[in-house]
Structure 1
Amino acid sequence: MESPERARLDAFFRHVIEQFPAGGPVTTLIVTHLLCERPAFLRAMAATSTIAAVLPKPKSIDQHTLETVQALYPVYDLSRDLFADPTRALDYIEESAAGQDLVLADIGGYFAPSIGTLVEKFSGRILGVVEDTENGHQRYAALDQLDCPVISVARSPLKDCEDHLVGRSIVFSTDALVRARGDILTSRNACVLGFGKVGRSIAQTLRGHDLRVTVYDKDPIRRVQARSHGFRTTATTTEAVRDAELVLCATGNLALRQHDFEALRNGAYLASVTSSEDELELAPLHEIYQRNPVGEHLTRYEVTGHYFYVLAAGGAVNFVHGAAVGTYIHLVQAEILAATAALTHGRFRPGLRTMPTAARQTIAGIWLDHFDR
């Protein structure tokens, strides 16, 4: 990042922190992508909290950024298993932040399986969780009870800008990887599973690239919305993928399970917008299909009479090219900062919560002051 860009970004975050100050000392555990713009966000988090641990999502780590962050903060490996066992999770946060007021900044619901135990037994206080993604939102929403506030920014209007551009970056990276093996997507049949904000952007972008797009979403309201946008829809996943030469998964909640892969047509390309374990049940296939790399970030799955291609090992395909969405990502990061501060003031009851409209309007105004030039 060039010096003028860094100075402007740091000034933006300083303004956000001034508008949303913490109510007292607070410690944070931060699950995050470690891409090139992330150190500025972490500097802002460090200005308002003590960072006990940075937990990079494994498939979105830029090596230079990792080295930069490791020089400043404790950085540890992240996996679903780490927080799936409540006892192990409790031991981990005791080692990291014993006795502290703690906010968990999450991307993907990593803390969801153990949050009840953490709230009940941690030697400090779990003030709450701030969740960034739709996948994580769904994981917390599925719990029978939440004993602390979970502020979700996944469905914030401020995230709409990012989601729209993420959809475009997904199509860009998918097209680039297919072209790298001498193939093209133009004029083919495509299927988008999930018609949320990212899925909608993907479908619209694919149509703009002259693909014939079918949409499936388990929510009939979203299927109606897809039809109103001129997309063909189906009543089942199997019907949606049967004729698709490209399948893009954007549900945030296991778009394709083991039996669904049998319906993929031969030669289909398969890509995801998030972690492979969140969208694709690939692990059971490893005992059935032979897997062979056929290019960088492209794997052929083959069994007698059937084959298809998986891009980026089933992970978020746009991270292959850095997942850049420009300065709009800082809107979401600013809302995470504001939500972290709000938790220190005790403004939210336990349960799944969102930031007030007025707070989002303030953030949007600050962003316009710094980036609309």
Structure 2
Amino acid sequence: MASLHSDVADLGLAQAGVRRVEWAERAMPVLRKVHDRFAAERPLAGMRVAACMHVTAETANLLRALSGGGAEIALAASNPLSTQDDTAAALVAEYGISVYARAGIDPQSYDRNLVTVLEQRPHLLLDDGCDLVNVAHMERPELLSEAVGGCEQTTTGVIRLRRMSTEGVLKLPMVAVNDTATKRMFDNRYGTGQSTLDGIMRATNAMIAGRTVVVAGFGYCGRGLAERARGLGARVIVTEVDPVKALDAVMQGYTVLPMDEAAPIADVLVTVTGNRDVVRAEHLASLKDGAVLANSGHFDVEIDLPSLEAMSVDIRREVRPQADEYVLSDGRRIVLLAEGRLVNLGAAEGHPAAVMDMSFSVQALTVAWLAGAHSGLEPGVLDVPDGVDTQVAGLELEALGVRIDRLSPDQLEYLNSWQV
């Protein structure tokens, strides 16, 4: 299998990658059941899949399930800092999946790898941030000649897809895996909350208790981050542009301030909005000495990095792995984590495997549905098929040993009748 076309750092890391993948699999019992079902039923036989995803052990287990179902897969990274080189090697050498990903590659290589996986002329696209779909539509539309659909698993990617659909340029049916209840509740809220703080603490070794943590954005990801920061003893301030979300934060007991008032008192400032220029030059100029900046939105545009570079009077230096210090003209030091990219993947390992178990099980079942139902679908952004989310949640409860009540026939009749 090592003869597969691939571009990874070192195939000699494969056995270390296998150990990492198998460790993650222990916490992914639902996906294991999906894997076994796919291996028996082969719902993806003959399907070529192009994926742009974080090259992690959890992703490897998703791709193993799809491969077991008959899919031929080519994988590129969705973030240069999140690639686990040992996992990439294991995917190629042990699991028969073509991988084009190396940790820390430059932007040109990143873009080239996206084109390479598209050159496999895939039937299905799996995306994380809409980069793969965007490149296919903008640069190489001819490579979509055999594509029938795909999935998108991030908030940022779904936003981009909806814009493409509104403007009439989206050529494929794309399922918004991100918009399921399990994805938003567990992946975005619990996963992002824990893994973001994990990245911050690994990069800084800083105490969270007693510090002022500013969370920019109070969607599902921001809510989870705020909850976990408060649980560790931080004073949490929320910034928002949406009145409803801001009111929600107030009702949950958080202080809500505009960014120009929050930035000067932040010990740690984390953006998690999915938008650009959330922390701008005027906010950077007001940060206190030693303030830590991090981003947990998908792209590195939430913090105005060019302005930070321009304001710095000294060459940035790495004070710790994934922690770069910028010195301003008045001597203040600002610490930027993971180059302003996703801190939970750039400075840590992303979401726990138990969280990704649900998200990737939903994605796997949706891919199988697409493989069978694509002929009746129109281009646009689609919801995950009815029942998939509930099925995965039920399997997860079963794996946890949790039992719940069931509706009686009388209750079902009552809920489905308009008569008292």
TM tier, shorter chain? Answer: 0.7 to 0.9
Quick check: 1:83–1:110 contact (8 Å CA) kept in 2?
Answer: no
Q: TM-score normalized by structure 2?
A: 0.76
CA apart distance, 1:262: 2.5
1:199 maps to: 222
Structure 1 residue identity aligned to 2:153 = D
Displacement, 1:117?
A: 5.1
**Distance (whole Å) between structure 2 residues aligned to residue 209 and residue 2 of structure 1:** 27
Residues 4 and 81 from structure 1, CA distance in 2 versus in 1: closer, same or farther, beyond 3 angstroms?
Answer: closer
Answer with 1 or 2: which has the greater Rg. Answer: 2
User: For residues 312 and 371 of structure 1, do their structure 2 counterparts lie closer, same or farther at Cα, with a shift above 3 Å needed?
Assistant: same
**2:142 is matched with which residue?**
121
Aligned mate of 1:332, from 359, 365, 385: 359
2:261 matched to 1:239? yes
What is the match of residue 69 of structure 1?
A: 91
Q: How does 1:214-293 map to 2 (within 5 A)?
A: 214-234=237-257, 236-254=258-276, 255-275=278-298, 277-289=300-312, 290=314, 291-293=316-318
Mapped partners of 1:123, 1:134: distance in 2: 23
Conservation of the 8 A alpha-carbon contact between 1:30 and 1:105: yes
TM-aligned CA distance change 1:322 to 1:114, over 3 Å? closer
Indicate the larger mover: 56-65 or 4-13: 4-13
Deviation at 1:231, TM superposition (A): 0.9
Equivalent residue for 1:132, pick from 146, 153, 171: 153
CA contact (8 A) 1:273 1:318 kept: yes
Per the alignment, residue 187 of structure 2 pairs with: 162
Aligned-partner SS, 1:248:
strand
CA distance in 2, matches of 1:154, 1:73: 24
- Corresponding residue SS for 1:240: helix
SS of match in other structure, 1:28: strand
Say if 1:69 and 1:263 are closer, same or farther in 2 by CA, change over 3 A: same
How do 1:170-189 and structure 2 match up within 5 A?
A: 170-179=196-205, 183-189=206-212
> How many percent identity over aligned positions?
21
Mapped to 2, the partners of 1:302 and 1:96 lie a distance apart of: 46
Q: Identify the match of residue 49 of structure 2 among 2, 25, 28.
A: 28
RMSD: 3.2
Unmatched tracts of structure 1, length 5 or more: none
Secondary structure of 1:322's partner? coil
Cα drift, residue 4 of structure 1: 8.7
Tell me the number of residue pairs that the alignment of Structure 1 and Structure 2 aligns.
Answer: 363
How far apart are the structure 2 equivalents of 1:287 and 1:46?
47
Q: Indicate which of 390, 394, 406 corresponds to 1:361.
A: 390
Q: 2:67·2:73 contact (CA, 8 Å) conserved in 1? A: no
